[in-house]
């Protein structure tokens, strides 16, 4: 019994360390600095390390890049949207959400889109969540929690700072309100007219002006 107890104590710590390392290894495959994860069809997330490598971008069919708080590394090779946003409590993500969502949606006709920040955890996830809330509001992301759950299925480490989540919540509330209003204005117009109405109403509601990125 003494040997068993002693052996048990001696083996407890190694087993715990091994388990921790295994979990870390599994997560790092999807959250490590060298990798990118596909969130929905055509939309990828990564850190800056991956975004620097032109070959890696081409290997996953990227044609457009949203760079959050990072410079455009290959402006002559890919279409870029540079978002000047620091990962600080004082930073306001609100002015960028609608623009990022529209850029992602319109860029998909050219190929896949990579959204990245420094680590691929906070700012990039916030912009993808905005895209999901605006363009997949009915099928995937009716709430901010829904949007983040979709992202975390592919990249479990994403963790937008509280201030960004608050901005997303306001963005989501606005989209829900606009959808209700658009239903009245476009009962017979179908989804296309409803989406057009949503875009014009969002501009009128104080969001950053809608931009056409087709020639960006």
Residue 153 belongs to a domain: yes
| pLDDT score recorded for residue 110 | 95
Is the distance from CB of 66 to CB of 81 less than 8 angstroms?
A: yes
- The structure's pTM equals 0.75
| pLDDT score recorded for residue 23 | 32
Domain CATH number, residue 74: 3.90.190.10
What is the rounded distance in angstroms from the CA atom of residue 78 to the CA atom of residue 63? 5
Q: Is 117 a catalytic residue?
A: yes
Q: Which domain holds residue 102?
A: 34-204
Residue 13 belongs to a domain: no
| pLDDT score recorded for residue 5 | 37
Q: What are phi and psi of 203, to 5 degrees?
A: -65, -40
Tally the domains of the chain. Answer: 1
CA nearest 155: which of 191, 119, 204? 119
Element at 70 (helix H, strand E) = none
The set of long-range contacts for 200-203, using a CB threshold of 8 Å and a minimum separation of 24, is 202/98, 202/174, 202/175, 202/178
In the set 68, 70, 117, 182, the catalytic residue is 117
| pLDDT score recorded for residue 152 | 96
- Mind listing the pLDDT tens digit of every residue in the chain (216 residues)? 434 434 444 444 444 433 333 333 343 456 666 789 999 999 999 999 999 999 999 999 999 999 999 999 999 999 999 999 999 999 999 999 999 999 999 999 999 999 999 999 999 999 999 999 999 988 899 999 999 999 999 999 999 999 999 999 999 999 988 877 766 665 555 555 555 555 554 554 444 444 444 333
Residue 199 belongs to a domain: yes
Residue 15 belongs to a domain: no
Residue 4 belongs to a domain: no
């Amino acid at each position: 019994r003494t040997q068993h107890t002693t052996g048990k104590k001696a083996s407890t710590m190694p087993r715990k360390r091994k388990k921790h390392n295994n979990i870390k290894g599994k997560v790092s495959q999807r959250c490590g600095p060298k990798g990118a994860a596909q969130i929905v069809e055509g939309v990828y997330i990564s850190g800056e390390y991956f975004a620097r490598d032109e070959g890696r971008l081409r290997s996953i069919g990227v044609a457009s890049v949203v760079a959050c708080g990072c410079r455009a590394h290959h402006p002559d090779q890919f279409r870029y949207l540079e978002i000047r946003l620091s990962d600080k409590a004082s930073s306001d993500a609100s002015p960028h959400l609608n623009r990022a969502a529209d850029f992602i949606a319109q860029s998909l006709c050219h190929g896949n889109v990579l959204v990245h920040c420094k680590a691929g955890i906070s700012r990039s996830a916030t912009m993808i969540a905005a895209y999901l809330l605006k363009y997949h509001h009915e099928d995937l992301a009716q709430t901010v929690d829904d949007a983040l759950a979709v992202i975390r299925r592919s990249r479990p480490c994403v963790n937008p700072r509280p201030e960004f989540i608050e901005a997303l919540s306001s963005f989501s509330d606005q989209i829900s309100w606009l959808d209700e209003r658009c239903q009245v204005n476009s009962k017979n117009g179908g989804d296309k007219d409803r989406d057009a109405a949503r875009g014009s109403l969002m501009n009128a509601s104080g969001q950053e002006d809608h931009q056409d990125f087709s020639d960006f």
